[in-house]
Amino acid sequence: MMIKADPRHLYVQVIERLKQDIEDGVFKENEKFPSEFELSRTLGVSRATLREALRVLEEEKIIVRKHGVGTFVNTKPLFTSGIEQLSSVSSMISGAGMEPGTIFKEVDTVLPNDEMIGKFDCSAADSLVTIKRVRTADGDPVVYCIDHVLAKHLPNGQDVLANESIFDAIEQSGDIRIVQAIANIEPVGYDDEASSILRCGVDVPLLVLFQHHYSEQGEMVLYSKNYFRADKFSFHVVRKRV
C-alpha cells in the first residue's frame, strides 16, 4: 500500500508506516528489509525520502543497517528498567516472565590493588573478594557480573554467596544496609571475555554498567561491573523538571 496524501512530511509518514508494519509483523525481528529500490517503489516515495526515514529509524534503534549486507529489523530488548531504580537483575528477569539463574565462574580473595584501595578507601592489607557470575534467563546467559566487596563486609564468609544474593550476604550482620548506588553506563562493541561468555558475536554490542554501592553511613561497600547484552536489555532514566 502506498503512502496516502497527508499534510505531514513524507519521511514522517514513511517512518510511521514502517513502524506499524514492524508492529504488525509484516517485517519481523532480524528480518532483512527489501532493497531501497523495492521499498521506495512499494511506498510510492523517492529513495531520498526513504533514506531519511531509515536514518531516523536507525537513530531510534528500530532498525540496524549493516554495511554491504542490508537493513534489518532490530531485536527488541526483553528486559527494560529505569536506571534510577536500584533493582536486581533477578527481579528484571522475573518481571519479564522468565526464570532467573546463576552460574558461578569464580570467587577469589586477593589483596586490593591501588585502584580498589582508592575506591574502597581501605588498607592494602584488607582482603578483597571478587565474584564472577553469569546471570541467565530461562537458561540463556544474558548478564556477566563482576563484583568486588571487602571480605570484612561478608560477616558469614563467602560460602553464603552460593545461596544468597550479594546484597543479602553483606547485610546479614545488620550493621550495613545498601541504600544507593552511583551508576555509569558505557557501550562496548565487543569484549573478549564477556562476549565469549555471553555467546555474543561481534555484531551484538554490550552495555557495561559500573555501580558504586553505598551504605546508609556513606561507605562504599560494593563495586560492580556488569556486562549486559544490548539486544536483551535496555535502560532508561526518568527526568523531572526542577
Asked whether residue 128 falls in the same domain as residue 154, the answer is: yes
Q: Is residue 118 within 8 Å of residue 124, measured between CB atoms? A: no
Alpha helices in the chain (DSSP H): 10-23, 36-43, 47-59, 89-95, 114-120, 166-171, 192-197
| Torsion angles phi and psi, residue 120, rounded to 5 | -90, -10
Residue 164 and residue 172: Cα distance in Å, rounded?
Answer: 10
Q: What's the start-to-end Cα distance of the chain, in Å?
A: 46
Question: Has residue 180 been placed in a domain?
Answer: yes
Cell for 174?
545488620
Residues in contact with 242: Cβ distance below 8 Å, sequence separation at least 6, in sequence order: none
Question: Has residue 48 been placed in a domain?
Answer: yes
pLDDT of amino acid 91: 79
Asked whether residue 137 falls in the same domain as residue 52, the answer is: no
Q: Is residue 194 within 8 Å of residue 186, measured between CB atoms? A: no
Question: Has residue 90 been placed in a domain?
Answer: yes
Enter the pTM of the model.
0.68
Domain boundary among 57, 73, 89: 73
Asked whether residue 116 falls in the same domain as residue 212, the answer is: yes
Question: Has residue 242 been placed in a domain?
Answer: no
Domain boundary among 32, 49, 73: 73
Question: Has residue 241 been placed in a domain?
Answer: no
Asked whether residue 105 falls in the same domain as residue 27, the answer is: no
pLDDT of 87 over the 70 cut: no
Percent of the chain with pLDDT over 70: 89
If phi > 0 it is left, if psi is from -120 to 50 it is alpha, else beta; for residue 29 that is beta
Asked whether residue 154 falls in the same domain as residue 100, the answer is: yes
Q: Domain count for the chain, please give it.
A: 2
Question: Has residue 103 been placed in a domain?
Answer: yes
- Whole domain around residue 111: which residue ranges? 79-236
CATH number for the domain spanning 194: value is 3.40.1410.10
In this prediction, residue 83 has a pLDDT band, given cuts at 50, 70 and 90, of low
pLDDT tens digit string along 116-174?
999 999 999 999 999 999 999 899 999 999 999 999 999 888 887 877 788 888 998 78
